Amino acid sequence: MVNQRKTSEDLEQRIQDSYRDYFSRSNLKAMKILRVSTGVNPKLPERSIQVQFGELIRIPYGEGLEKLSALIEATGTKPNEDIVQQGYRFYFDQDDDDCMIKLNKLTGIKPSLHEKGVREKLYGYLENVWIEEYLELQKLTGIKLRESDIRKIYLSKARFGDTNEITEIQKATKVKPIFSERDSSNVQKGYLCLWREHKDLAEGHMLTHSKSELKDIGEIFRKFYGITGIKPEESVVQQGYKKFIDSGMLISLKSLLMATEVPLRQDDVISGYNKYLNFNSQWIDRGFEWLQQLIKISGVKPDVDLVQKAYLRYIKSDNRFAIKKLFEVTGVEPNVKIYKTSIGLL
């Protein structure tokens, strides 16, 4: 019996000696195999294990976390809270949220970080619409952004008409965007951005002959109004009308007109007629097409003098197609006096 106890003690001693040897050489794989195969836990100085935990946690980019996990498995010991919190602070300063999440899974200890610093990072994530990162950090720390901060972000997004981003943020935060009259100037800037962006995209489609779908500007305005509750000012909409007329974006003009019910300025319509009627022969078909569409949308007929001047140009250049087309579109006949003048009879 004594011999058996002695043999058992000798075996235990040899196992512990092996543990100490492996530990000194950081051979964690061998320690784990020994622990699994013998069922004997290592009896190592707690302080030595914790020191190694601390060293592993401070390796940048989480390169030490895999070894930390192996050390936990090999020793059956977990890092104490002080070391874990040091790790959280280290990774937080390194902007390494992934490592904080891994450390939490390894240790089961929640981070205790300065609220102001966490909120600043949450604000940055939400402002950039990094929703996944925002939600993960919020869940990990248990810290939430104040509603007043979220509404600041909404206002900054409204300034650029970022309807989709506002919607994404609302889904993530469950905080409804609320705008007041004092926010109106920023919202109006958003409406300006919306029609400008639409115009730029449309022109890009024309240049590249893109077949991808261009979103309806009227629907875009309606959606933005639904979020902000603030209507676009007439001057903002009419600036969009003028640009659409100048660019021949008459489908967009009609869509925006129907969505906002802001009246067209007659001067802008007449300016459009004048531009379309002065297209050179290469673009004359398009000029008449746009002229016809604008007459239908605006309900305003071109000035007779303007039409007669166009007839005079077409007669002088013997452009019979243009003469015929101008009559079809406007219903105005060429003045006999103009015709005689053109051939030198008057």
Assigned token pair, 39: 């069922």
- Amino acid code (one letter) for 5: R
Contact criterion met (CB below 8 Å) for 53 and 71: yes
Tell me the pTM. 0.80
Contact criterion met (CB below 8 Å) for 244 and 196: no
Q: Among 315, 317, 320, 307, which residue's Cα sits nearest to residue 346?
A: 315
pLDDT of residue 158: 97
Non-local (6+) Cβ contacts of 205 within 8 A are 212, 214
Q: Give the SS3 label for residue 187.
A: helix
Region of residue 177 (left: phi > 0; alpha: psi -120 to 50; beta: else)? beta
Residues of the chain with pLDDT under 50: 209, 211, 343, 345-346
Rounded Cα gap, residues 279 and 44, in angstroms = 90
pLDDT of residue 345: 38
Assigned token pair, 202: 């449309």
Contact criterion met (CB below 8 Å) for 306 and 278: no
Task: Output DSSP code: residue 177.
Answer: -
Rounded Cα gap, residues 65 and 53, in angstroms = 9
pLDDT of residue 102: 94
pLDDT of residue 117: 96
Sign of CA dihedral 338, 343, 344, 346: negative
Rounded Cα gap, residues 326 and 277, in angstroms = 9
Tell me the per-residue pLDDT of 17-31, one tens digit each, with 9 for 90 and over. Answer: 888 888 888 888 888
Domain boundaries, the chain: 114-178, 180-263
Task: Output DSSP code: residue 129.
Answer: T
Tell me how far CA of residue 179 lies from CA of 148, 186, 262, 278, in angstroms: 12, 10, 22, 45
Tell me how far CA of residue 251 lies from CA of 31, 109, 271, 294, in angstroms: 74, 59, 18, 10
Rounded Cα gap, residues 278 and 18, in angstroms = 95
Assigned token pair, 203: 């022109």
Contact criterion met (CB below 8 Å) for 48 and 77: no
Distance of CA 5 to the CA centre of its chain: 71
Q: Give the SS3 label for residue 101.
A: helix
Assigned token pair, 258: 């129907």
